[in-house]
Amino acid sequence: MSKTKTKFICQQCGVETPKWLGKCPGCGAWNSFAEEVETVVKTQGMNSSFLRTKEKPTPIINIESSVEQRVLTDNGELNRVLGGGFVPGSLILVGGDPGIGKSTLLLQTSHSLTKEGRKVLYISGEESIRQTKLRADRLDAVSPNLYVLCETNMEVVEEAIQEVQPDFLVIDSIQTVYHPSVSSAPGTVSQVRECTSHFMRIAKLKNIATVLVGHVTKEGAIAGPRLLEHMVDCVLYFEGERHHTYRVLRAVKNRFGSTNEIGIFEMRETGLAEVSNPSELFLSERPLGVAGSTVVASMEGTRPVLVEIQALVSSTNFPSPRRMATGIDHNRLSLIMAVLEKRVGLFLQSQDAYLNVAGGVKLDEPAVDLAVAISIASSFKEQPTQAYDAVFGEVGLTGEVRGVSRIDQRVKEAQKLGFRRVIMPEKSLKGWTPPKGIEVVGVSTVSEALKAALD
């Protein structure tokens, strides 16, 4: 026996209520509830076959350990972000703004896997097979082992998977796929949750590496409930501005690798090309001898990246000065300016401050604090920094410069790009010998760093 009932589900967080609400009590979103019809099936007690499982609990010491055999692609940046390549049977979610290059990246990756004799099934719910063929011709990604299907019905998709038996599966996108047994519209919480669970079972049972493309909201988060990110093994965000040529692939969840790695790509007419030396790309247009410009040696996972930080400090007539930051946390900028005013003596109360990380890169590690402080002081005093200086270090509330990790990789990256001096925490110099050919200046306070960088 079955019966239907009506419920309202928040399309942002998945909260269910028996009636419509203007504001979601779970996430606080307005007008996010949508009406959905649920079919309730009554089971005959605990002896129902639906509740039975064939597997039995096994002591963990009796389970054999095995190393996952990863599948490498021709794209080294993608392999780095994934932790060494695709893991068979893994479920990966890729999100990004419209037109950022998600389909281009996955189509190139599919072609790379077909060159190794693997079958790839590319299912598109937003484009026809002719449109996909046009993109494949432009990217030179045509292969007999690449199968393309334009379908949104989950049952038809399962039949295609059973027929092709692919080694790699791409679903573009998960918000367009629907299951006929669920009465709600495609893209709703119920449909996304049901279809994702089906793809998860397919990936695990058939040992198929599956990639789901997800839409993002205007805030940049993947659309739908957070449950979607909890169900998958890996969540990748494709970031960047459509008006710029480069793209950043960042892992925010990875059960098979690190979540600190990033991949840098450059968008060209023939598709996405990996950038092996991102530091050189970010510093290619750096002005020399300009106040407010400082180069920071940052770490993105296991990779050192040199990025330019630009600051502009100007006087204001308003009682409340503005603090704007692009690429770093806004609260971090306010904290560093308070340290400069209290510990160094810079009068910044009547100054507007604008901070930008050149290239659109987002830096979230504490080692960029010292470069931010030097950039602000340089713009305020109208004194340019040395053109071939690199800076890194964490700034404390008492004005001290704290040590950071992996200083040898940061200094070697700066030396490779032709920098002649590095200003870094003095405490990080202990137990480490600087390489020849580059000067290392250790500082213990922000005042010492400003004196070394601006004098």
List, as residue ranges, the binding site: 96-103
d(CA 166, CA 83): 22
User: Torsions phi, psi of 342, nearest 5?
Assistant: -85, -40
How many angstroms separate the Cα of 137 from the Cα of each of 105, 115, 266? 14, 16, 19
Query: From the annotation, which residues make up the binding site for ATP?
Result: 96-103
Q: Give the 3-state secondary structure of residue 176.
A: helix
How many angstroms separate the Cα of 189 from the Cα of each of 8, 299, 387? 10, 37, 53
User: Torsions phi, psi of 135, nearest 5?
Assistant: -65, -40
Q: Please name the amino acid found at residue 257.
A: G
Give me the residue label for tokens 């060209």: 268
Q: Give the 3-state secondary structure of residue 355.
A: strand
CA 64 to chain centre: 33
Residues in contact with 215: Cβ distance below 8 Å, sequence separation at least 6, in sequence order: 95, 98, 173, 175, 222, 223, 224
User: Torsions phi, psi of 98, nearest 5?
Assistant: -60, 135
Query: 440, 294, 451: which is closest to 372 by C-alpha?
Result: 294
d(CA 90, CA 199): 10
Q: Give the 3-state secondary structure of residue 314.
A: strand
Which runs of consecutive H residues, i.e. helices, occur in 115-174?
129-139, 154-164
d(CA 117, CA 144): 10
CA distance from start to end of the chain = 83
d(CA 91, CA 87): 9
